[in-house]
Amino acid sequence: MSHITQVFRPNYKALIAYLTVGYPDIATTEKAAITLAGSGVDIIELGIPFSDPLADGATIQKASHQALEQGITPEVCLEVARKLHQKITTPLVFMTYYNPVLNFGLEAFCRSCVEAGASGLIIPDLPPEEGEELEVATQKHHLDLIYLLAPTSTEERIATVAKRSRGFIYLVSLTGVTGARQNLPAELEDFVRRVRQKASQPLCVGFGVSSPEQARRIARIADGVIVGSHLIRLIEEDATLSSLRNFTLSLREALDG
Amino acid sequence: MTSRDRPDHRGYFGPYGGKFVPETLMSALSELEEAYNEARGDADFQREFQELCREYIGRPTPLYHAQQLSAKIGGATILLKREDLAHTGAHKINNAVGQGLLAKRMGKRRIIAETGAGQHGVAVAAACAKLGLNAIIYMGEEDIQRQSPNVHRMKLMGAEVRPVSSGSRTLKDAINEALRDWVTNVHDTYYLLGSVVGPHPYPMMVRDFQSIIGEETKEQVLAIYRRLPNYLIACVGGGSNAIGLFHPFFNEAQVKFIGVEAAGRGLGTNQHAATLAAGKRGVLHGTKSYLLADDSGQIRETHSIAPGLDYPGVGPEHSYYKDSGRATYVAVTDAQALEGFELLSQTEGIIPAMEPAHAIYYAAKLAADLSRDQLIVINLSGRGDKDLDIVRKLAGAEP
């Protein structure tokens, strides 16, 4: 059992939170991660910024851009993970695009992730068709490669991801890019049900989540909720991070209730 | 393996190509591939495409013997494939009409596209007006400024032009935005990609629609000269006009292919767009190919006087041609391209677009060292009216 799968247990809903490493600066990322760990977050996704984040909406685009301008590299992100791993026990997962990973070297990157204390990888532009090489490298180093499914995924694709995703399956709630939304689509329940019929992994829903009500709705059908862009905005708005803390606590409460 | 066998069923040209896109788009790509394969084998579809090529685009475009240019250089015989005479003034229309027909066949009426120089945007706007489709064109703010005549043309033909303000505000960022739109509106939207880049099946499909350039060239050169050309020369940004010319000659090993990239302010600076000459392997915009990136794998900003070449990636089939040695890739600077621009304007009374001006410069240098019986075909992929502002500004900036 991996660090990630240990998070999921009967009658418990996981809360997964995303941070862009280095936005607005490294000290804030570290402080925010520690805050999240202490306010009911079960897994922290550390985003390694990429110059062309085509699955991301305006909020994460801007955060990535500013992080890159400050010279954030994959090496710096690994260092941040290493430090955090010494301070908190919350499993860490890297989220980034394929080119920085490929550039680092698949094998070297996986080894470095494990050395830094990370437990998994999410690569939104790497569908299973293209993921075999990285699967080999992640399995060798006992990292979970987490695949995504979307409302447009066919039954055949759901079956493939159900066979190959490790840790959990990331369900993209809507057709679109990341970013806070007022409403999640009406078909969400059907989508989760379709995946549940084929997959035995925990199912976590992300993209668009920005309120405890949405989290509660997701908790009724899925095993975890993923929140990202809204957290970035809260960090922007309130440097003391108390808004961040209050919001994640409210999500935790919604999931536990 | 013959050229017709490539790409393989996973969309790979050797180690290059594939589909590196968010899960949301994977089904749409499969649907597109299926629809395209059906259309490709459908005589009615092909007939309709051929008819539009003839009646709407004005094909075949001439293969023109540039006598004055050849005489001035005093070397090889230079022929120009006159894609600048195609409707809307560039080769881009071939692909826009082909994919426009496919979109219509698939029942998708909302068309999105990216554009750099604006030539693809203009072609999409025209094809959509003609075929009764709605066009939304993403264009970087920087390109909107430097290619404003094309922005007016697109709007005049009923397209909506959406400015892109992220990143370098050029073609790369316009593609990002178009992909984000597609991810969001995938149910009713057709992405009409303008070059041989992006995820499978785009590099294959765009190549096929552009191959009419090389097919006509072959027929024309054989009819006039009774033999194949010695060199085919074309500029390479994403690489669609070059692949369109090269592909039908793939199996004719004696025909040499030369792709000319943009060396911008010089390969020694970071201000160029010579992806094959100076790049490394990676993944950008859904395809594995050569690209320009820094030590951390972040995509670099590029520079070229020619907006259509100002792109940090390149089509996967070109990467395959490079590694296999089938084609040679060279790079020409802004200043040299400007010389090519003036040379053709003055010798032949033909104002080329800044993109093929790169190919003209290189071809002229090469031709000087060759004998008259050597035939060089340059793909004159577009006309230069759109670039007059750029040239005027440069002239004004000189002391």
pLDDT at B4: 58
The amino acid occupying position A203 is L
Residue A51 · residue B298 · CB < 8 Å: yes
pLDDT at B1: 44
B219-236 residues labelled b (16+ CB within 10 A) or e (exposed): ebbeeeeeebbbbbbbbb
Note if B381 is an active site residue: yes
Note if B345 is an active site residue: no
The amino acid occupying position A147 is Y
- Measured in angstroms, the CA of B92 and the nearest CA of chain A are apart by 25
B59 φ, ψ to 5°? -85, 160
Residue A80 · residue A46 · CB < 8 Å: yes
Instruction: Copy the structure tokens of residue B163.
Output: 């400015």
- Measured in angstroms, the CA of A102 and the nearest CA of chain B are apart by 7
pLDDT at B398: 52
* Residue A99 to residue A51: CA distance in whole angstroms: 10
Order of all β-strands in the sheet with B110-115: B160-164, B134-140, B110-115, B189-191
What are the sequence ranges of the domains in chain A? 14-256
- Measured in angstroms, the CA of B111 and the nearest CA of chain A are apart by 17
pLDDT at B390: 87
ω into residue B201 within 30 of 0, thus cis? yes
Residue B237 · residue B308 · CB < 8 Å: yes
Which residue, among B176, B292, B29, has the nearest Cα to A56 in the 3D structure? B176
A20 φ, ψ to 5°? -80, 120
Q: Do B20 and A65 touch (CB under 8 A)?
A: no
Per-residue pLDDT of chain B (399 residues; tens, 9 = 90+): 455 578 999 999 999 999 999 999 999 999 999 999 999 999 999 999 999 999 999 999 999 999 999 999 999 999 999 999 999 999 999 999 999 999 999 999 999 999 988 999 999 999 999 999 999 999 999 999 988 999 999 999 999 999 999 888 889 999 999 999 999 999 999 999 999 999 999 999 999 999 999 999 999 999 999 999 999 999 999 999 999 999 999 999 999 999 999 999 999 999 999 999 999 999 999 999 999 999 999 999 999 999 999 999 999 999 999 999 999 999 999 999 999 999 999 999 999 999 999 999 999 999 999 999 999 999 999 999 999 988 888 877 654
* Residue A2 to residue A201: CA distance in whole angstroms: 12
What crossing angle do the helices spanning B388-397 and B334-348 adopt, rounded to 10°?
110
pLDDT at B312: 97
Report in angstroms the alpha-carbon separations of B217 from A67, B62, B379. Answer: 50, 9, 10
- Measured in angstroms, the CA of A228 and the nearest CA of chain B are apart by 17
- Residues of A with CB below 8 A from B19's CB? 127, 129-130
- Residues of A with CB below 8 A from B21's CB? 54, 125, 127
Q: Do A130 and B24 touch (CB under 8 A)?
A: no
Q: Which of A25, A42, A56, A115 is catalytic?
A: A56
Helix (H, G, I), strand (E, B) or coil at B106: coil
* Residue B171 to residue B311: CA distance in whole angstroms: 6
- Residues of A with CB below 8 A from B282's CB? 99, 102-103
To which H or E segment does residue B101 belong? Answer: helix B92-105
Q: What is the CA radius of gyration of chain B?
A: 19
CATH of A14-256, one of 3.90.226.10, 3.20.20.70, 3.40.50.300, 3.10.50.40: 3.20.20.70
pLDDT tens digits, one per residue of B274-320: 999 999 999 999 999 999 999 999 999 999 999 999 999 999 999 99
pLDDT tens digits, one per residue of B355-364: 999 999 999 9
What crossing angle do the helices spanning A242-256 and A26-37 adopt, rounded to 10°?
30
Q: Do B18 and A152 touch (CB under 8 A)?
A: no
Q: Do A175 and B172 touch (CB under 8 A)?
A: no
Q: Do A54 and B299 touch (CB under 8 A)?
A: no
Per-residue pLDDT of chain A (257 residues; tens, 9 = 90+): 789 999 999 999 999 999 999 999 999 999 999 999 999 999 999 999 999 999 999 999 999 999 999 999 999 999 999 999 999 999 999 999 999 999 999 999 999 999 999 999 999 999 999 999 999 999 999 999 999 999 999 999 999 999 999 999 999 999 999 999 999 999 999 999 999 999 999 999 999 999 999 999 999 999 999 999 999 999 999 999 999 999 999 999 999 98
Helix (H, G, I), strand (E, B) or coil at A204: strand
Which residue, among A77, A82, A73, A64, has the nearest Cα to A24 in the 3D structure? A64
DSSP per-residue codes, B341-353: HHHHHHHHS--B-
Which residue, among A234, A255, A246, A257, has the nearest Cα to A39 in the 3D structure? A246
Q: Which residues of A lie closer than 8 Å to B, measured between beta carbons?
A: 50-55, 57, 61, 65, 68, 73-75, 97-104, 124-127, 129-130, 147-154, 157, 172, 175-177
pLDDT at B399: 43
Q: In the Cβ-directed half-sphere of B323, how many Cα atoms lie within 13 Å?
A: 13
pLDDT at B5: 73
Residue A34 · residue A87 · CB < 8 Å: yes
Q: Which of B19, B33, B83, B92 is catalytic?
A: B92
Among B23, B184, B298, the residue with its CB nearest the CB of A51 is B298
Report the Cα–Cα distance between both ends of chain A, in Å, rounded.
27
Helix (H, G, I), strand (E, B) or coil at A15: strand
- Residues of B with CB below 8 A from A154's CB? 27, 30
Note if B142 is an active site residue: no
How many percent of chain A have pLDDT more than 70?
A: 100
Q: Which of A25, A42, A45, A237 is catalytic?
A: A45
**pTM for the model:** 0.97
The amino acid occupying position B355 is E
